[in-house]
Chain A
């Protein structure tokens, strides 16, 4: 099974750098996915629930960027 071959490096420097890179990748994917969802007409509460965060948190993090990008946002 190929999925079982994934292994985290045992070198601390590599493992720590992997954590930093994964956080950055997660942020990039979040930016892209939230934008895609809002463009598709999702509401803030739906996006928040899907991410497992509060509506306030997701709004605070993304609203300004999406408004500036011209995405029409649903209020509820």
Chain B
């Protein structure tokens, strides 16, 4: 297996772990972002780390985004006091709409499949202008546009297609 395929498999596997822990039936883009932040050393991982976005910081931002979005509808998460449900028997294997869009965007930025680098995956996630990921990044005080620029720079230095 090519190194990039191995990387993508690793990220999707770790994303499935995050989705399972989240009680989500599908792997979404924000689970892939958590996976990249938690995952193997790569230029993509470095861009996140240098912005202070490690796995726990992103998890915290996602939790705040959830609460913040619920509050827009006048709902308080603290108002629900049910016991935590048991996790699904198996990890989800299905990629949700946001994860598929992120992969499509990542793949669309390169002319040939063999030009694909780990950073393209992060680029595909960061290029979403609406949805959970950009909202969580804003709440974390991160500059999404600056992150995109840094990923493109990392790709250029890596000899990839930015």
Task: Specify which chain B residues have a CB less than 8 angstroms from the CB of A20 in the assembled complex.
Answer: 69, 131-132
Please give, as numbers and ranges, the residues of chain A lying within 8 Å of B75 by CB-CB distance: 18, 21-22, 25
* A67 interface residue per 8 A CB criterion: yes
- Place the interface of chain B in its size category: 20 to 34
Q: B64 CB to closest chain A CB, in angstroms?
A: 11
Q: Tell me the count of chain A residues lying within 8 A, CB to CB, of chain B.
A: 34
Q: Is A32 an interface residue (CB 8 A)?
A: yes
Q: Which of A15, A24, A67 has the most CB of B within 10 A?
A: A24
B112 an interface residue at 8 Å Cβ cutoff?
no
- Interface of B, secondary structure class, is loop
CB-nearest residue of chain A to B129: A13
A6-B73, A27-B23, A31-B85 known, 9 other contacts, Cβ within 8 Å: A6-B74, A8-B73, A8-B74, A19-B73, A22-B75, A31-B23, A32-B83, A35-B83, A65-B88
Binding site for A on B (CB under 8 A): 23-25, 65-66, 69-70, 72-75, 77, 80, 82-90, 130-132, 135
16 contacts between A and B (CB under 8 A): A14-B72, A15-B73, A17-B132, A17-B135, A18-B72, A21-B65, A21-B66, A21-B69, A25-B66, A31-B23, A31-B85, A32-B83, A35-B85, A65-B85, A65-B88, A68-B89
